Amino acid sequence: MIRRDLIPTHRALRVWVRHLIQYRSFYLAEWAGNFGEHFLYLLAFGYGLGRLVPSLNGLSYAQFIGPGLVVSIAMWTSSYESTFGAYSRMRIQKTYEAMLSAPLSVGDIVLGDLLWCATRALIGSILMMIVLMIFGLIGSFWAVAVLPIIFLEGLMFGSLGLIAAGLAPNFSFFSFHFSVVVMPMFFFAGTFFPLKGLPPWMQAFSEMLPLTHAVRIVRGLIIYGHADSFVWHLSILAGCTIVFMMAACAAVSRRLVD
């Protein structure tokens, strides 16, 4: 039987509010930094490196890579928040301990953290999309439909990060999480180069990465305003997210309740 305290309730929003209050003190500096970073990324890869890349199905390299960057920024932001951020709240600042002495449960804390990871992923991606807009790389009004997809992606990587935070004996454990979980998806999910034409084993590997499916939906929506096999990709994303969320609850509970 599933323990009652692992099932999240609406109280998760109270955890989310705490994170938001804390965010108030540094968001402006972060937004400015992120914006500049995104700008440089697009210039260097899209236009610098892009000069060497032939047209891909009629798309310039900047057009191709823009949506890929939107998706990877969401992944990185959510992964940082759920590993280093959550670990520090769990083990160093004892923020979770305080929450558990109030009427919040492990499930509320996990869901609250995940909502927050997804919120930050969303903010990072929106900033990137603004940069894309400035460069004229958004092809359709339907690009706004990527926002819920990005939020879902944020929940998914937040869950993976919380699993790592629950298992981690110290901060250095996270370099393992980033090299085994985050980096392979960063490089092989079709973000920087098309998967078509890769050796079959590499294509098969890429198909197994949940990020690949996010990239396909987001690229389709941003450039053309629609995505092929939308329901299929979305089901994979949602399915992975639910499974990872349950694992995250179990991993965090292991750390918080004796």
Partner 1 sequence: MFFLSAYDIDTQGLTKSFGDLKAVDGITLQVGKGECYGVLGPNGAGKTTTIKMIHGAVRRDGGRLNVLGMDGTSHSREIRERMGLVPQEDTLDNELTVYDNLWVFANYFGISRRQSRPRIEELLDFVQLRDKWDSQIKTLSGGMKRRLLIARALIHKPQLLVLDEPTTGLDPQARHLVWQRLRELRRQGLTILMTTHYMEEAAQLCDRIGVMDGGRFLVEGAPRDLVRERVGEEVLELRGVEKEEVSGALDGLAIDAEQAGDTLYLYCTNGAPVMERLMAAGKRDFLRRPATLEDLFLRLTGRELRE
Report 185-204 residues binding partner 1 (CB under 8 A): none
Exposed e or buried b per residue across 103-136, where buried means at least 16 C-beta atoms within 10 angstroms of its C-beta: ebbbbbbbbbbbbbbbbbbbbbbbbbbebbeeee
Pick 101 or 170: Cβ nearer partner 1:
101
Question: Among 7, 44, 98, 180, which residue sits at the site for partner 1 (rule: CB under 8 A)?
Answer: 98
Rounded to an integer, what is the distance from CA 17 to the centroid of its chain? 20
- 44: contact with partner 1 by CB under 8 A: no
- 95: contact with partner 1 by CB under 8 A: yes
- 162: contact with partner 1 by CB under 8 A: no
Question: Among 36, 103, 194, 239, which residue sits at the site for partner 1 (rule: CB under 8 A)?
Answer: 103
Pick 91 or 147: Cβ nearer partner 1:
91
Pick 116 or 244: Cβ nearer partner 1:
116
Q: Are 126 and 212 in contact (CB under 8 A)?
A: no
CB of 31 to partner 1, least distance (A): 18
Report 8-27 residues binding partner 1 (CB under 8 A): 11, 14, 17-18, 21-22, 25
Among 127, 98, 167, 107, residue whose Cα is nearest residue 40: 127
Q: Are 145 and 235 in contact (CB under 8 A)?
A: no
- Residues in the interface with partner 1 (CB under 8 A) total 24
Report 215-254 residues binding partner 1 (CB under 8 A): none
- 7: contact with partner 1 by CB under 8 A: no
CB of 21 to partner 1, least distance (A): 6
- 101: contact with partner 1 by CB under 8 A: yes
What is the distance between the alpha carbons of residues 208 and 213, in angstroms, rounded to a whole number?
Answer: 9
Query: Binding residues for partner 1, per CB under 8 A?
Result: 4-5, 11, 14, 17-18, 21-22, 25, 93-95, 97-105, 256-258
